[in-house]
Chains A and B, each alone.
Chain A
Amino acid sequence: MEKILTKKSFPLWVKELVSYKIYAPQKNGDLWNFETIKKPESINLDFPNTVLPPKNIIFPQREVLLEFESSNENKLQVKETLPDDDPTIIFGVRPCDAKALTLTDKVFSGDFKDPYYWKRRNSTVLIGLACNIPPSPNCFCLSVGGSPHSKEGLDILMTDLGDKYFVESLSEKGSTLINLAKPLFQQPKAADKKAVEKTQAEAEKKITRQIKDIKKIPSILKNMFDSPLWDEESLSCLRCGICTYLCPTCHCFDINDEVASSSPVKGKRVRTWDTCQFPDFTMHSSGHNPRPDRASRLRQRIFHKFQYFVERYQNYLCTGCGRCISKCPVGIDIIEVLDKVRDYGS
């Protein structure tokens, strides 16, 4: 379904969606992030990209998996704490971040479906906003199978056409939202479709950064496990973990018990984001560490994204959002690292 929605009508549409919990990018100081919206008119879709991807709405940085409590008779009770499945809408999802969720979907599926992830995922509608201008100078979605107007993973894609949005419904969930405010939407004219095509073609041209010959990378990496490159490229790493924290595809986590009382025992089992860039991540209780240095940890990040995940799921675990490049405090640039990998292979 393709529709036109004027920018004037946009808040009226949002008003019709009040039964949903709504997230949209909000500016706080200089930083944009997804926050819950109370007033429809406060949604401003004129934003670069959010600092954090919307990943944390589906897979929160901290979530309680279960609660345990021992009563006085020493009888222990365990209660699973699944999240609410309140119908939720996220406005303004960038195509790279939507595609990222299709990748984490693979991780949280399989033999052991993750009920926490899927409860939120299934109750959330993703409304994307095409990138007419790359939100970051480090965008490289075109290199990893995405595009500034990719529909992958989205329920609706909106393209800004000046005073109106071109709105494409991509799923039943999406159509339901449009149908809630049918009279606000108009049929697109031939000129609108042409304008969208033109905008999209121009948007692609504006993306300057790329990973050349990316298809060769997975097989080159296979022979580079023991390369000195990992030492050289990781020398400046501060092991702050920001590259993985901000990454829309990074999904590694830790599980720990938080204790309110130790006798009788009462507490929560909590899942939190974790990162392969921390030394503790892989350290055995004996002190032995299979990835004991920065080199092996940078190698893990690159291999996981461009070799292991490709082998397991036939996708790169990267959608080219460029956050890890823009926010690395010491300028480790995944594109430059992969350039060197490619040079190694030629």
Chain B
Amino acid sequence: MDHNAYVPKLAKIIEIKEEVGGARPIKTFRAQFQNKNDFSFSCGQCAMLSVFGKGESIFAISSSPLIKDYLQFNILKMGRVTSSLHEMQVGDTIGIRGPYGNGFPLEEWKGKNLIFIGGGIGLAPIWSVLNTALGKKEEYGDLTLIYGARTSKDLVFREELEEIKKKIAVHLSIDVEESDWNEFVGFVPQNVTDKKPSPKNAITVTCGPPIMIKFVIKALEDLGFEDEQIYTTVENKMKCGIGKCGRCNIGSHYVCKDGPVYSWAELKKLPQEY
């Protein structure tokens, strides 16, 4: 009998970092498999995390596949599983199964300028692909990150962003004015319009709340980007992660298997059911 896809591998939480506090807290978790790590994934793929006794939820893997000794997840406290994860400590055991989904076609993007556009926790899937491209910087053109959140306190990876600024162009934004904020004030799509990235030989990856994605795509179209140059990720409720339980579909596509990464050219053809 083939491998049982429903049985997760056990992993230990080796690091927890509080990224965002307040009413919508976000923590970054790093987890290491207890046994040999044969978990091979590509950027943009997801993993189903188990908190035994609470259940499972699916998350984007935010670490790069270039990093072999742990998997990283950015988790916004929302429902039963994410709330339990937020209560966990370093050393606690979780289950991981996957990887699931298609991932970004990063190989096809060699030689192109990559523009990453994220909002809030939407930086998680971007973080994996951005760091992978950074790790092989010579294979790509210019890398740019446009990232925003409601307030400066809601930005994830604040320290890491300072580091990345030394290597690539980073344009941050917050939705409302704050006293010691020197960068753009306004929504992410407005920042995109303001920074005017060039569509020439470029690919954009945009992840964030659906409403942000909608207006980012509009801003990109106004700047002359073609549908095939715009990539995004979709999320829907999932239980199995392997195209069987029947709930994450958009039309005949199962987001867990056929997604979560779509070009706007592909997504446009599917019904608006996400």
Which chain A residues have a beta carbon within 8 Å of chain B's beta carbons? 65-66, 68, 70, 74, 76, 78, 80, 82, 107-108, 110-116, 118-119, 225, 251-257, 259, 262, 265-267, 269, 271, 274, 276, 281-286, 288, 290-291, 296, 300, 303-304, 307-309, 311-312
Contacts and interface: CB of A to CB of B under 8 A. Distances in A.
27 contacts: A65-B7, A68-B52, A74-B93, A76-B93, A80-B4, A110-B243, A113-B2, A115-B2, A225-B271, A253-B245, A255-B55, A255-B56, A255-B239, A255-B245, A257-B52, A266-B53, A267-B52, A267-B53, A269-B6, A271-B6, A283-B237, A285-B78, A285-B82, A288-B210, A290-B236, A300-B249, A303-B251
Contacts of B235: 284
Contacts of A266: 53
A-B pairs with the 5 shortest C-beta distances? A285-B79, A252-B246, A308-B252, A112-B242, A311-B252
A282 B246 CA distance: 9
Contacts of B212: none
Given A285-B79, A308-B249, A256 B55 contact: yes
Interface of B: 1-2, 4-8, 10, 52-57, 78-80, 82, 93, 95, 210, 235-237, 239-240, 242-252, 257, 271, 273-274
Contacts of A269: 6
A82 B4 contact: yes
A290 B193 CA distance: 29
B7 A80 contact: yes
B8 A78 contact: yes
A112 to B, nearest CB: 4
Given A112-B244, A115-B1, A276-B246, 5 more contacts: A70-B52, A74-B93, A255-B239, A274-B239, A290-B274
Nearest to A313: B252
Contacts of A119: 1
Given A112-B242, A254-B239, A276-B246, A65 B8 contact: no
Given A115-B1, A284-B236, A78 B7 contact: yes
A86 B4 CA distance: 20
Contacts of A251: 244, 246
Contacts of B79: 285
Contacts, number: 118
A154 to B, nearest CB: 24
Contact of B247 (A80, A110, A112, A281): A281
Contact of B54 (A65, A257, A300): A257
B110 to A, nearest CB: 27
Given A66-B6, A115-B1, A286 B239 contact: no
A256 B50 CA distance: 11
Given A66-B7, A254-B245, A256-B55, A312 B240 contact: no
A300 B273 CA distance: 10
B25 to A, nearest CB: 14
A259 B55 CA distance: 10
Contacts of B236: 282, 284, 290
Nearest to B94: A76
Contacts of B251: 303, 308
B53 A253 contact: no
Contacts of B247: 252, 274, 276, 281-282
A75 to B, nearest CB: 8
Contacts of A265: 52-53
Contacts of A255: 6, 55-56, 239-240, 245
A252 B245 CA distance: 5
Interface-centre pick from B53, B236, B250 (highest chain A CB count, 10 A): B53
B234 to A, nearest CB: 10
Contacts of B56: 255
B10 A78 contact: yes
Contact of A112 (B5, B57, B95): B5
B134 to A, nearest CB: 31
